[in-house]
Structure 1
Amino acid sequence: MIETGEKAIIGSLKRARRTGQLTLIGLELKEFPKQIAQYQDLQLDDNWWEIAPLTKLDLSNNEIKQIPEDFTHEKEIQLVRMLNNKLFTLPNSLFQLTQLKSIDFSKNQIKQLPYSLVQCPSLVEINLSENKIEELPMNMHYLQNLEILNLSQNNLRAVPIFLEKTPLKKVDLSENKISHIPQPAFSGCLLLENLILSKNLIQQIDEGAFQNLKSLVNLYLDQNRLVEFQEVPQSEKLDQLVLSYNRIESFTQFENIPNLSALVINNNKLKNLDKSILICKNIKTLDLTNNDLPDIPSEIGLLPKLVRFTVEGNPLKCIRNTIKNAGAEAIKKYLRDRIQGDYTQVESAMDPKMNFIQKKLDPIEVLLREFYRNNEFIVSNQNLTKFDDERLYNLKGLTHLDISNNKIQIIPEQLVNYEKSLSKLHANNNNLIALPQSILQLRQLQSLEFKQNNIEYFFDNNSQLKQCWQVFPNLQHLDLSINKLKSISGLIISFMPSLRVLNLAYNQISDLSPLFSTSAKLNKLEVIDVSNNSLQELSEQIAYTLPMLQNLNLENNNLQKIPTELGFMKLKTLKIDGNPLKLIKRAVIEKGTVSILDYLRTRHVGNPPTDLACMRPVVEEIEEQPEQPQANILRNNDYQYRRQNHQYGQLQQQPVQQQQPNYGFGRGNLFKQNQNDLLFQQQQSYNQERGGFQKVGNMEVENYSMQYTSQQNQVNQQRSFDQVNQGYNNQQQFNRNMQVEDLAYNNNPNAGQIKRANKAEIEKQIYLINGSISKLENELAENFSLNKFQINEKRKELQALKLQRSKLQQDLQ
């Protein structure tokens, strides 16, 4: 008979073989289960091909004393958790798991760790708190992926040495027996953010022990035996410093921690607090309780963000108890009243940075400081008229240059210095007329934006282009909107094989044929925006040369007709409003992309095209595209059959919509045909090509279900002629409505143009607002350096822009 504990183990193993996570928590297990070593071979009434690899092992809250060396043969384990057991040691085989990322053996009896620990470079988190460990293996810096190390509540007497660079972000050595912090202890922890050394016996910190902790955010040294604290980390990110319950008599190192927000130094022996605390303008919490301070510097009253300020338990002779108990604002007001003279002069005298700020700084120098941290040089909104400072040409590793929203007229040729690094060049909203030749040598560019300038030519007929085989091999985004372009060169476009987004809106372009030439090879182009131009004709070659096109904006041009081949493309968005179209009615345009594409398909003369670019198999020129399955190729070869099937299905289901009036070159020439005759002709033509019929009423309908099936458009073979007659009546009503519309059009042929002119201005405003909204949304999603205040301000600005856009969209309606 199987015991209860064994039943629980078997049940957990069954679940683990489905999920990959084995959990045996709180089962009072005395020994490590042997079944884990036989995980793959156990006969548990499941299919061997459905067994998930074991990735997580949790045996917490048991009474296991030892883990056997052959405890598992699973090599994909990533997490092992056995907290609150009775383990004395760990097996070497544990650290031979090449994918092991996290171990938690807290609350055990472990005294010594195997040397094999440092031979497991995949470890990211180690939790060995509440054990009896006295020392760690040497060469802990071999753990090149370790980010979290928790050794609190052990018997460590020395700090582990991290000589080489490691990615450690959090180290907890609290509640040990450490008395000394040597200089090289944390020299390799350049990314360390949290260091907890509370409740130790620390008396000495060597000079330079915290020197390399440039990313430190929180430092806890409370409940130690420090008499002085001179080794303040030189980290501009330091946010909290906790030194409570020590024996510190003086603290003066405020110049190293200007961005500190919390200083907790209560229960010490402080006799003096330096006036330089005024440097810490961002400090919010200052705890000075239970010290030996006879007085407090009056300058503390000038700290603008200080909201938690406690001074109880000090022998203060100058501050009455009623003021001390009234809170931070009352104490600050009292301290400010004691200052004689101008507060500003006091701040300048105490804070050397104030003098630096009051000087008129060179904006280029300030922005250069920002660049060296982010590999980005952003000079937007600086009212610059020139871009010729010699310091701008020696920025090694520059990846992003943004000179938008200035008054720059010329970009220097020295940009060629960044040909190996620059990936983004944005110069929107300037006074640029022409572009430098050096841009052609920036081969690493991925994003190029010159929106809202005065550019008339974009490297048209450039002799230098003819000597190049590729100019922009990596360019994916090109924005030349709101300029004065009259044409676009097919030669320059042919050198952009990776282009995905092309924005040419608000120009004076009249011909797009260079985009559709066979030499262009824009096999990755997904978005084209040529709205608000002067296009008079759109070539049907667009459907035969752009295989990946999904979004096409043709609004507000002079197009009188649209190629019907567009109806067979895989477009997600097609915008054609604001054109003097003669064939497509306003009602169809207002219904959106799907209706427009359906309408174009029904108006196509002849057989549906079978050689469009979107129907061809994906070739190797299109990178990162999976190979097209054979089934898809067969479906493309049979595209003509599927189109006819789709048309026939629509004809059966929606006879009125499929047979809308056919306008020729004259708007009022309505072509009418008897609905029943047309339906019969469609069916007869269709049946002759596919073969196989069956009788429905007085008509012969193809019995295609024996050969093909279509999930989207199945012919309803039970449709009666009563429904067809009803469709004919609806057609007659539709024709009468169209005659009324034709009459109104003939009476006032210019009405549409007047309305389009008003709409064009509103749509231009909406276009600019959409650009600002996209920029703000990208900042909120990708810029993780924003604080909460900045995030809230940008969200308010985003909400205001969306409200403005909504009002403009209502005006359009």
Structure 2
Amino acid sequence: MCAARKRGAGNSLAGFRRDAGDADANAARVPQGLIRTARKSGQLNLSGRELTEVPLHVWRINLDTPEEDQNLSFGAADRWWEQTDLTKLNLSSNKLLCISDDVKLLPALTVLDAHDNQLTSLPPALGSLENLQKLNMSHNKLKDIPVELMQLKHLRSLLLQHNELSHLPDEFGQLVSLEELNISNNNIANIPTSFAFLTSLVHLNLACNQLKSLPAEISSMKSLRQLDCTKNNLEAIPPELANMKSLEQLYLRRNKLCHLPVLPSCTFLKELHVGENQIEALSAEHLKHLNSLCVLELRDNKLKSLPDEITLLQGLERLDLSNNDISSLPYKLGNLSHLNFLALEGNPLRTIRRDVLQKGTQEIMKYLRSKIQDDVTSSNGELSVTAMTLPSQSKINMHAITALKTLDYSEKQVAVIPDEVFNAIGNNPVTTVNFSKNHLSEIPVRIVELKESACDINFGFNKLSSISLELCMLHKLAHLDVRNNSLTSLPDEMEALTRLQIINLAFNRFKIFPSVLYRIPTLEAILLGNNQVGSLDPLQIKNMDKLGTLDLQNNDLLQVPPELGNCFNLRTLLLEGNPFRTPRAAILAKGTVAVLEYLRSRIPT
């Protein structure tokens, strides 16, 4: 039992002489020279010292006069009363059975690391360390978490993986500053609904537990970028998960899923790992919203085929289909120009020769492309292929228009969208339009014909120098992607886009922050990276109540206005790659919360 022992007033070693064996052995493993150095640096590393107990003079490092200071004369640099409080304490890789309540004697601690010990419990006194920002108690034998720990309002990183936890306190949502939480490799069966209040959380690892479901409230984590639910007992994913717009990496491997989740709002999702489940089908509905996906891992499932709409994933770089029941692949898969890893082992493929499969991804892709022309037919509603028709213009996907409400005419290398494309729409209410990766110098006038239905439009990777007034009439538009063009300004008429939530203006030629964006209160994400923006108005940004993501990376900002720190709604603020001197790179690396806090501290009073 780790009860605090009675301590003498002047002797830092008083009070534990009675355990002459273990206590003295532990004290000997923490030499006074190390303590002396820690008094100057504020950091004490006791990792790997075979400690079974933390010596009392460690806890009292900022209270007691060192024994060697009592009879010797020191210079000014060695005066103990002038030296710093301990802020970082590393107790990892020892043999500690418990941590004493004396930990409260170190109120300045910001980092406490006791991973890889034999701890079975934590002292309630940890809750009094109000400055603590990082707590690592992983690889121990903890069975529960004291509720007092929920008082740590400034805690940003909590690592509890590889313990014996079976539940979490209901008050867990009180850790409002938490950005990183790892509770993997425990025995947790339920997640508290109070997780909804962890709105600053960026990384959440729930892998290797006993979860059968996730609470719908998890969707309130608006800053979450990485969610790992690998190796649980999940049979379904709550539909609310689809609202997590900041999510970039989702791991659902080794569960009991029969269906892939539909994620219409996860437009920033880059990696989706769903291997080792029981998924039998992949539909266009699963794929059409994943515009940013780079990695799709589907190995060890029960898939029998891939839909043609797999080609909607134009940014896909890795696709793992190993050990499924796929007998043939859509030849259009060969058009995924960024795909450099395709795993097909363990499938009963009959349409691709074995010698081609053995040559690797590039040869397989080349083979599929060679078969595309053979696969082209003049089906209903499609343009007939003639000797005068360019291959890139030969098809309009009527299935996508009628069933998916998607008009896709991307990567055709055309300077003008043919009238036949708009004519093919007919009376179908198209909601998604993709004209990216062409040579368009202006937005087609006929885009206005979609004003009653279009919600998501992509003109990325073209040669646009302006936004047309016709586009400004699409009053249902929610997502506009015009990255990689030649835009320098936006028209005031865009103010009429009263439902616009996400606008991607990256890799254009903006020199000032487009003022019309301040007047679109529905905006949730503004992506302006890789332009030449030199300033912005923090007071107007503050008035944008729904703005959660602001990307200004690689611009020409010479200074960041401190008032930007008052924009409490911002969950993701990206400023790297600008020529300003402050905030320093070290502060930027700590994340949005730290940057905003720093900026607020610089506001003149």
Which AA in structure 1 matches 2:244? L
Corresponding residue number in structure 2 for 1:98: 130
Q: Structure 1 CA distance, aligned partners of 2:294 and 2:140?
A: 37
1:213 and 2:248 are equivalent in the alignment: no
What displacement does 1:25 show?
Answer: 1.5
What displacement does 1:329 show?
Answer: 2.5
Corresponding residue number in structure 2 for 1:78: 110
Corresponding residue number in structure 2 for 1:224: 255
Aligned pairs, number: 411
Q: Structure 2 CA distance, aligned partners of 1:245 and 1:417?
A: 47
Corresponding residue number in structure 2 for 1:338: 371
Which AA in structure 2 matches 1:352? L
Q: Give matches, 1:301-450, under 5 Å.
A: 301-339=334-372, 340=376, 341=385, 342-346=391-395, 348-349=397-398, 350=400, 352-354=407-409, 356-358=433-435, 360=444, 363-364=467-468, 389-391=492-494
What displacement does 1:180 show?
Answer: 1.8
What displacement does 1:364 show?
Answer: 4.9
Within the candidate set 39, 50, 56, 1:28 is matched to: 50
Q: Give matches, 1:585-604, under 5 Å.
A: none
1:39 and 2:61 are equivalent in the alignment: yes
Within the candidate set 272, 275, 296, 1:241 is matched to: 272
What displacement does 1:141 show?
Answer: 2.0
Give the superposed CA RMSD.
4.0
Deviations 1:489-547 (A, max 9, x none): xxxxxxxxxxx99xxxxxxxxxxxxxxxxxxxxxxxxxxxxxxxxxxxxxxxxxxxxxx
1:255 and 2:359 are equivalent in the alignment: no
Which AA in structure 2 matches 1:62? N
**Which structure shows the higher helix fraction?**
1
Q: Structure 2 CA distance, aligned partners of 1:232 and 1:378?
A: 22
| C-alpha spacing 1:368/1:134, structure 2 compared with 1 (3 Å) | farther
What displacement does 1:389 show?
Answer: 5.0
Q: Structure 1 CA distance, aligned partners of 2:518 and 2:108?
A: 49
Which AA in structure 1 matches 2:181? L
| C-alpha spacing 1:143/1:367, structure 2 compared with 1 (3 Å) | farther
| C-alpha spacing 1:238/1:145, structure 2 compared with 1 (3 Å) | same
Give the 3-state SS of the residue equivalent to 1:180 in structure 2: coil
What displacement does 1:110 show?
Answer: 0.3
Q: Structure 2 CA distance, aligned partners of 1:207 and 1:181?
A: 10
Corresponding residue number in structure 1 for 2:161: 129
Q: Structure 1 CA distance, aligned partners of 2:48 and 2:538?
A: 61
Q: Structure 1 CA distance, aligned partners of 2:134 and 2:492?
A: 51
1:299 and 2:332 are equivalent in the alignment: yes
Q: Structure 2 CA distance, aligned partners of 1:357 and 1:177?
A: 41
| C-alpha spacing 1:347/1:154, structure 2 compared with 1 (3 Å) | farther
What displacement does 1:123 show?
Answer: 0.4
Deviations 1:349-376 (A, max 9, x none): 556243634461671567999xx999xx
CA contact (8 A) 1:367 1:378 kept: no
Corresponding residue number in structure 1 for 2:93: 61
Which AA in structure 2 matches 1:255? K
| C-alpha spacing 1:18/1:373, structure 2 compared with 1 (3 Å) | farther
CA contact (8 A) 2:177 2:200 kept: yes
Q: Structure 1 CA distance, aligned partners of 2:214 and 2:223?
A: 19
What displacement does 1:381 show?
Answer: 5.9
CA contact (8 A) 1:189 1:213 kept: yes
CA contact (8 A) 1:36 1:71 kept: no
Which AA in structure 1 matches 2:135? I
Corresponding residue number in structure 2 for 1:7: 28
What displacement does 1:248 show?
Answer: 1.0
Deviations 1:201-224 (A, max 9, x none): 22222332x122111111111112
Q: Structure 1 CA distance, aligned partners of 2:517 and 2:27?
A: 72
Deviations 1:386-428 (A, max 9, x none): x9854459999xxxx9xx999xxxxxxx99999xxxxxxxxx9
Q: Structure 1 CA distance, aligned partners of 2:267 and 2:497?
A: 27
Corresponding residue number in structure 2 for 1:51: 83
CA contact (8 A) 1:225 1:246 kept: yes
What displacement does 1:39 show?
Answer: 1.7
CA contact (8 A) 1:34 1:71 kept: no
CA contact (8 A) 2:304 2:325 kept: yes
Q: Structure 2 CA distance, aligned partners of 1:295 and 1:202?
A: 30
| TM-score, L = length of structure 1 | 0.46
Which AA in structure 2 matches 1:138? D
Which AA in structure 1 matches 2:311? L
5+ residue gaps in structure 2? 1-19, 70-77, 377-384, 386-390, 401-405, 410-420, 422-432, 436-442, 448-465, 511-515, 521-531, 541-557, 560-574, 581-605
What displacement does 1:189 show?
Answer: 0.8
Highest CA radius of gyration, 1 or 2?
1
Which AA in structure 2 matches 1:249? E
Corresponding residue number in structure 1 for 2:229: 197
Deviations 1:207-242 (A, max 9, x none): 32x122111111111112222223436311111111
Percent identity over the alignment is: 28
Q: Structure 1 CA distance, aligned partners of 2:320 and 2:483?
A: 40
Give the 3-state SS of the residue equivalent to 1:306 in structure 2: coil
Corresponding residue number in structure 1 for 2:302: 269
CA contact (8 A) 1:30 1:63 kept: yes
1:109 and 2:141 are equivalent in the alignment: yes
Which AA in structure 2 matches 1:97? L
| C-alpha spacing 1:282/1:415, structure 2 compared with 1 (3 Å) | closer
Which AA in structure 1 matches 2:64? L
Corresponding residue number in structure 2 for 1:138: 170
CA contact (8 A) 2:39 2:80 kept: no
What displacement does 1:382 show?
Answer: 5.3
